[in-house]
Amino acid sequence: EDQVTQSPEALRLQEGESSSLNCSYTVSGLRGLFWYRQDPGKGPEFLFTLYSAGEEKEKERLKATLTKKESFLHITAPKPEDSATYLCAVLPSGGYQKVTFGTGTKLQVIP
């Protein structure tokens, strides 16, 4: 069974204090790993897709990296508007298109 574990559950940062969120996964084979951002009361919003170990993607203050067992979402010099819950999801290889999400990391950036 595919599993995705995100840590920490919650993270509180001062504005400008860089940090990383972790997503550990167990799948028989990985077709893709996704990062989403979710604001309270809204649907998740896509950030990145990573397909193979060693791959990195960046968007503004966010950088996602991927190894064979985990992914990191690095947040550099965060701002209060980066406060949200960040979700990780995996799509296994094979003929299915069943996506498994982690429970998320709730990030709060304090001015």
Partner 1 sequence: EAQVTQNPRYLITVTGKKLTVTCSQNMNHEYMSWYRQDPGLGLRQIYYSMNVEVTDKGDVPEGYKVSRKEKRNFPLILESPSPNQTSLYFCASSSLAGELTNEQFFGPGTRLTVL
Which residues lie near partner 1 (CB under 8 A)? 31-32, 34, 41-46, 49, 51, 87, 89, 91, 96-104
Please identify, using beta-carbon distances, which residue of 3 and 18 lies nearer to partner 1. 3
Q: How far is the CB of 77 from partner 1 (least distance, A)?
A: 25
Q: Between residues 13 and 30, which has the closer beta carbon with respect to partner 1?
A: 30
Give the count of beta carbons closer than 10 Å to the beta carbon of residue 72: 16
Contacts (Cβ under 8 Å, ≥6 apart) of 4: 23, 24, 25, 26, 88, 89, 90, 100, 101, 102
Work out how close the CB of 103 gets to partner 1 at its nearest, in angstroms, rounded to a whole number. 4
Nearer to partner 1, 44 or 78 (CB): 44
Query: Shortest Cβ distance from residue 99 to partner 1 (Å)?
Result: 6
Closer CB to partner 1, residue 53 or residue 110? 53
**Which residues neighbour 77 within 8 Å (Cβ) at sequence distance 6 or greater?**
15, 16, 17, 18, 61
**What count of other Cβ atoms lies within 10 Å of the Cβ of residue 32?**
15
Quote the least distance from Cβ 69 to partner 1, whole Å: 19
